[in-house]
Amino acid sequence: MTNRRTFFRSAGASLVGAASVSRIAAAAVPEAASQVSAATQPPPPPPNGRPYNPIVTLNGWSLPWRMKDGIKEFHLVAEPVVREIAPGMKANLWGYNGQSPGPTIEAVEGDRIRIFLTNRLPEVTTVHWHGLPLPSGMDGVSGLTQPPIGVGKTYVYEFVLQRSGTFMYHPHADEMTQMAMGMMGLFIVHPKDPRQLRVDRDFGFILNAYDIEPGSATPRVNTMLDFNLWTWNSRAFPGIEPLVARSGDRVRIRVGNLTMTNHPIHVHGSPMEVTGTDGGWVPRTARWPEVTVDIAVGQMRALEFDAIPGDWAIHCHKSHHTMNAMGHGVPTMIGVDHRDLVRKINGLIPEYMVMGDKGMHEMAEMEMPLPENTLPMMTGDGPFGPVGMGGMFSVVKVRDDVRRGDYTDPGPYAHPPGTRAHEVTDDVPPPARASAPQADAATLQVRKPRGHEGH
What is the binding site for Cu ion (CB under 5 A)? Answer: 263, 316, 318, 321
Least distance in Å: CB of 390 to Cu ion? 12
E strands, 179-297, in order: 185-190, 201-210, 229-232, 243-246, 250-257, 263-267, 272-277, 280-281, 289-290, 292-295
Least distance in Å: CB of 392 to Cu ion? 5
Q: What share of the chain is helix, strand, coil (3-state, %, to 5)?
A: 15, 35, 55
Residue of 440, 184, 158, 409 whose CA lies nearest to 448: 440
Least distance in Å: CB of 237 to Cu ion? 12
Supply the Cα-derived Rg of the chain in whole angstroms.
Answer: 27
- Between 113 and 377, whose beta carbon lies closer to Cu ion? 377
Cα–Cα distance for residue pair 279/200, rounded to 1 Å: 23
- Between 255 and 316, whose beta carbon lies closer to Cu ion? 316
Cα–Cα distance for residue pair 342/344, rounded to 1 Å: 5
Question: Which residues, in sequence order, are CB contacts of 112 under 8 Å at separation 6+?
Answer: 70, 71, 72, 158, 159, 160, 161
The answer to whether 65 and 47 have CB atoms below 8 angstroms apart is no
- Between 113 and 293, whose beta carbon lies closer to Cu ion? 293
Least distance in Å: CB of 234 to Cu ion? 15
| Cβ neighbour number for residue 197 with a 10 Å cutoff | 18
Least distance in Å: CB of 174 to Cu ion? 25
DSSP secondary structure, 425-445, as one string: -SPPPPP----PPP--HHHHH
- Between 187 and 230, whose beta carbon lies closer to Cu ion? 230
Indicate the residue type of 366: M
Least distance in Å: CB of 294 to Cu ion? 10
Give me the count of residues in the chain: 455
Indicate the residue type of 429: P
- Between 66 and 266, whose beta carbon lies closer to Cu ion? 266
- Between 231 and 374, whose beta carbon lies closer to Cu ion? 231
- Between 66 and 318, whose beta carbon lies closer to Cu ion? 318
Least distance in Å: CB of 230 to Cu ion? 6
Indicate the residue type of 41: Q
Least distance in Å: CB of 263 to Cu ion? 3
Burial class (CB in 10 A: 0-12, 13-18, 19+), 81: buried
- Between 163 and 318, whose beta carbon lies closer to Cu ion? 318
Residue of 65, 199, 74, 61 whose CA lies nearest to 129: 74
Residue 364's alpha-carbon distances to 320, 355, 368, in angstroms, are 14, 11, 9
User: Do the bridges between strand 393-399 and strand 243-246 make them parallel or antiparallel, or are there none, so unpaired?
Assistant: parallel
| Cβ neighbour number for residue 84 with a 10 Å cutoff | 17
The answer to whether 92 and 376 have CB atoms below 8 angstroms apart is no
Least distance in Å: CB of 247 to Cu ion? 29
Least distance in Å: CB of 389 to Cu ion? 13
Least distance in Å: CB of 261 to Cu ion? 7
- Between 246 and 321, whose beta carbon lies closer to Cu ion? 321
| Cβ neighbour number for residue 280 with a 10 Å cutoff | 12
Least distance in Å: CB of 445 to Cu ion? 47
DSSP character for 206?
E
Determine the angle formed by the axes of helices 18-28 and 2-11, rounding to 10 degrees. Answer: 80
- Between 7 and 205, whose beta carbon lies closer to Cu ion? 205
- Between 270 and 322, whose beta carbon lies closer to Cu ion? 322
Residue of 91, 395, 87 whose CA lies nearest to 216: 91
- Between 295 and 402, whose beta carbon lies closer to Cu ion? 295
